[in-house]
Chains A and B, each alone.
Chain A
Amino acid sequence: MKAARKLIFFAWLLVPMAAQAEYTRIELTIFGMD
């Protein structure tokens, strides 16, 4: 029972640490817009 509780606690701890890896902003220079 104690081991199961420990496991749940560490699982809970790890989930928020799962990284979101993504672009948030891209500023693109574009040729041929004039």
Chain B
Amino acid sequence: MRVALQKMQGVESVDVSLNEGKAVIRLQPGNSVSLGQIRKAVTEKGFTPKEARIEAAGDLSAVKDGLRFEVTGAGEGFAAEPSAHKEWREKAGRNLRVTGIIAAPSGEEAAGRIQLLTVSRQSQEEPPKRNAP
């Protein structure tokens, strides 16, 4: 499984702990790896992926029925747990750094929901700097 994940384009490193039943995947800047692709690779190796704790950059937007976190580079989006709406609504915006827990997709809700843990603005140093023309 580690080899299969490591082969994916955009994966920087993979650590698998048999004792803890966990795989930690670190990704390269500019990758387009999705959680769905990771889950699929794990499933194809005969294991069952459960919840995922993620760190990602993306957009948090207020939508009709709550909040939605989009990782546009990976083409994935998740509805935030309703309990988080009041707490995080004022932080909604683009280009945010988010940590959260995404439960294993159930049959009815393939896209899953995210339980937001932290939401912060990316630091000014992180975008590529350019010299003035």
Interface of A toward B, CB cutoff 8 Å: 8-9, 12, 15-34
Q: Find the A residue at minimum CB distance from B11.
A: A26
Known: A19-B72, A34-B18; 10 extra A-B contacts, CB below 8 A, are: A12-B132, A22-B73, A23-B27, A24-B56, A26-B55, A27-B24, A28-B25, A29-B52, A30-B1, A31-B48
Q: Does B95 contact A (CB under 8 A)?
A: yes
Q: What is the bound-complex CA distance between A4 and B127, given in angstroms? A: 25
Residue tally, chain B, CB below 8 Å to A: 47
Q: Which residues of B contact A32 (CB under 8 A)?
A: 46-48
Interface majority SS on A: helix, strand, loop or mixed? mixed
Q: What is the bound-complex CA distance between A22 and B55, given in angstroms? A: 9
Q: Do A22 and B21 contact each other (CB < 8 Å), given the known contacts A15-B130, A16-B128, A27-B53?
A: no
